Amino acid sequence: MNIMQKTALTLAVFSATAAPALAQEPGSLDARVNEAFAAFTGPFVNLIFAPFPGTSFPWIVMWLVVAATVFTLYFGFVQFRFFSHAIALVKGDYSDPNDAGEVSHFQALATALSGTVGLGNIAGVAVAVGIGGPGATFWMILAGLLGMASKFTECTLGVKYRNEYPDGTVSGGPMYYISKGFSELGLPGGKFLAVLFSIFCILGAFGGGNMFQANQAHAQLAGIIGDYPGWITGVIFAAIVFAVIVGGIKSIANVTEKIVPFMGILYVGAALIILVVNYDKIGWAFGQIFEGAFSGLGVAGGLVGALIQGFKRAAFSNEAGVGSAAIAHSAVRTKEPITEGFVSLLEPLIDTVVICTMTALVITISQQLIVDPDTGRFVLNEAGTAIATVDGNTGVALTSAAFASGISWFPYVLAVAVILFAFSTMISWSYYGLKAWTYLFGEGKTSELTFKLIFCVFIVIGAAASLGPVIDFSDAAIFAMAVVNIFALYFLMRIVRAELNSYASRLKSGVITKFN
């Protein structure tokens, strides 16, 4: 499996607690199905994650980073100018409960975060730092800060072009703003692009947002309590997930607004303990990060290697530009689309700049990562194992060893985190997939229930089977969403700037005031 793929960055199983991946007997039905599926979908997967010739830099990462840079410049560094206003919006200072929508600003943010904060924040960062060195952290932070502008752009459009129904429910996301926005501007192809995005979104929801999560949750549980059939985990998860998603976005938001803060506090709290214990090394760690970012000392590929790993980690972590978050943010209660754009820009900050950076700092401070004098590459301390392995296990071992150096029981925290991350990701992606499904097949209780039942069946399948090529394909589908979405955003960003200018002038003149 290519380590550039998001799957390879997030698929790792915690070596201290997790059971090995379910093996397939050569020549078995599962093996034959996987081989056939891989042969059929391989060209598409390879295209999406292909590197630029002569490099290890996937073109899809550059697609995301360039777009984030364009949006940052086009909107005049909006992520910094309106940061404090975004905080006020999340606090509810400008919220009118009578506005159209289904969830609060905070609930919309929590729902979107639950879909991006996951295993990649633990395993993926370790792989990035393991290959790119501490300097990769600098480029990861930079890409995360730029990605805030991408989230701002897509989520503003998500609210502006959403469908609002008489019963108070709403539907929004790239499929709606692409089709409506292109039509409004007199541009052709909007409907085609919207349908294409919806298909990719459904495929991504079933695979990376569902089956993979269930599979890794089962691996964690089996590693703690002993091996047992995966379908049991699948059935339990399916029942819990169905109980949440059957109530729609309000039910999902009620759960995520509790789980996401808990996950964040649990993980960041553990990291802060390590940092406090080693407070005298914090300055040194930042020095290593800045030195490594521009000198590339001990890094595979030097400065470029650190840049590539940092940009990859940020792009694969916060999904800025993919368009998925716009679906969740579209459900917010507001009459000003731009306000949810402001709220959404906090998402890459929390996911990448805060949580991912915490992981990188702990790894650097723990000094579990050392340079092999013979090869000049980073290896895991004591074990002497190269970090850049295909299965990613050493990446997770690095995170585990780093935290365990200060907290001996941290592997158990990792086990809890994996289960919570998997559950929260599943319920968020169920909503993303649902809205893409209803865009294609129509709104209505029957259509929605059909999707939710199918989604839960795939949870059982994912927990019980080894479906590597299916997950590879679904991850490729998720990033194919970004190809369609960003292409459309370049045409629609002028609409967002008009919204921004109008809101900013009314806010400055006092027309817009705090509601409470």
pLDDT on residue 441: 92
Residue appearing with tokens 């809101």 = 503
Rounded (10°) angle between helices 468-509 and 135-160? 70
Check if the beta carbon of residue 452 is closer than 8 Å to that of residue 446: no
- CATH number of the domain that 150 lies in? 1.20.1740
Other C-beta atoms closer than 10 Å to the C-beta of 225 total 9
Q: Which residues contact 443 (CB under 8 A, 6 or more apart)?
A: 165, 171
* DSSP tag of 280: G
Q: Give the H or E element holding residue 1.
A: none
Q: Which of 165-169, 359-363, 374-378, 405-409 has the lowest mean pLDDT?
A: 374-378
Q: Is residue 143 part of a domain?
A: yes
Q: Is residue 409 part of a domain?
A: yes
Residue type, 440: L
Q: Is residue 297 part of a domain?
A: yes
Check if the beta carbon of residue 310 is closer than 8 Å to that of residue 76: no
> 103 pairs with which residues across the strands?
332
| Residue 326 token pair | 């716009």
Calpha distance 237→169 (Å, rounded): 26
Candidates 496, 110, 163; CA nearest to 339 is 496
- Total count of domains within the chain: 1
Terminus-to-terminus CA distance in the chain, angstroms? Answer: 53
Q: Is the pLDDT of residue 390 over 50?
A: no
Q: Is the pLDDT of residue 84 over 70?
A: yes
Q: Is residue 224 part of a domain?
A: yes
In angstroms, the Cα distances linking 420 to 183, 237, 238, 259, 261 are 41, 11, 14, 8, 11
Per the model's pLDDT, the better-predicted residue between 515 and 341 turns out to be 341
pTM: 0.83
Q: Give the H or E element holding residue 10.
A: helix 6-10
pLDDT band at 3 (very low <50, low <70, confident <90, very high): very low
Calpha distance 34→24 (Å, rounded): 10
pLDDT on residue 305: 63
Per the model's pLDDT, the better-predicted residue between 189 and 42 turns out to be 189
Q: Give the H or E element holding residue 170.
A: strand 170-171
Q: Is residue 333 part of a domain?
A: yes
Task: State which residues form the domain around 273.
Answer: 6-509
| Residue 8 token pair | 């390879």
Q: Is residue 514 part of a domain?
A: no
Q: Is residue 516 part of a domain?
A: no
Q: Is residue 515 part of a domain?
A: no
Residue appearing with tokens 């292109």 = 182
- How many helices (H) and strands (E) the chain has is answered by 23, 5
- Report residue 164: phi and psi, to 5°: -115, 130
Q: What's the average model confidence in pLDDT over 65-76?
A: 94
